[in-house]
Structure 1
Amino acid sequence: MASSAARSVLSVLAGWGVVGVLVVTTDGVLAKLFPAEYVIGRMPPDYLVGISLATSTVWSVAGGWVTARLAPGRPWHHIVGLVIWGELLGIASSVMTWGQIQMWYQLGLLGLWMPAVVLGGWLRAGKPASIRAGAA
Structure 2
Amino acid sequence: MILRPLLVSAGAVITGFAVTAIASTAADAVMHGFGIFPASPQDMTGSLFALAAAYRAVFTVAGGYATARLAPDRPMRHAIILAAIGLVAGLAGVVAYYAIGDGKLGPAWYAISIPVEAIPCVLFGAKLANPRRVAVT
Q: CA contact under 8 A between 1:11 and 1:71: conserved in structure 2?
A: yes
Provide the C-alpha distance between the structure 2 equivalents of 1:50 and 1:35, rounded to a whole number of angstroms. Answer: 13
Identical-pair percentage: 27
* Residue aligning to 2:23: 22
For 1:1-136, what aligned pairs fall within 5 Å after superposition? 3-34=4-35, 37-40=38-41, 42-98=42-98, 99=103, 100-126=105-131, 128-129=134-135
Q: Which amino acid aligns with 1:101?
A: G
Provide the C-alpha distance between the structure 2 equivalents of 1:25 and 1:13, rounded to a whole number of angstroms. Answer: 18
Q: How many residues align?
A: 129
Gaps of 5+ in 2: none
Indicate how the Cα distance of structure 1 residues 66 and 36 shifts in structure 2: closer, same or farther if over 3 A, else same.
Answer: closer
TM-score, length-scaled by structure 1? 0.86
2:6 match: secondary structure = helix
Gaps of 5+ in 1: 131-136
Provide the C-alpha distance between the structure 2 equivalents of 1:111 and 1:38, rounded to a whole number of angstroms. Answer: 27
Moved over 3 A (4+): none
Q: Which amino acid aligns with 1:119?
A: F
Indicate how the Cα distance of structure 1 residues 36 and 120 shifts in structure 2: closer, same or farther if over 3 A, else same.
Answer: closer
CA shift, 1:34, in A, is: 2.2
Residues 52-91 of structure 1, C-alpha deviations (whole Å, 9 max, x = no match)? 0000000011000000011011111100000001111111
* C-alpha RMSD of matched pairs (Å): 2.0
CA shift, 1:129, in A, is: 2.7
Q: Which amino acid aligns with 1:31?
A: H
Provide the C-alpha distance between the structure 1 equivalents of 2:19 and 2:37, rounded to a whole number of angstroms. Answer: 28
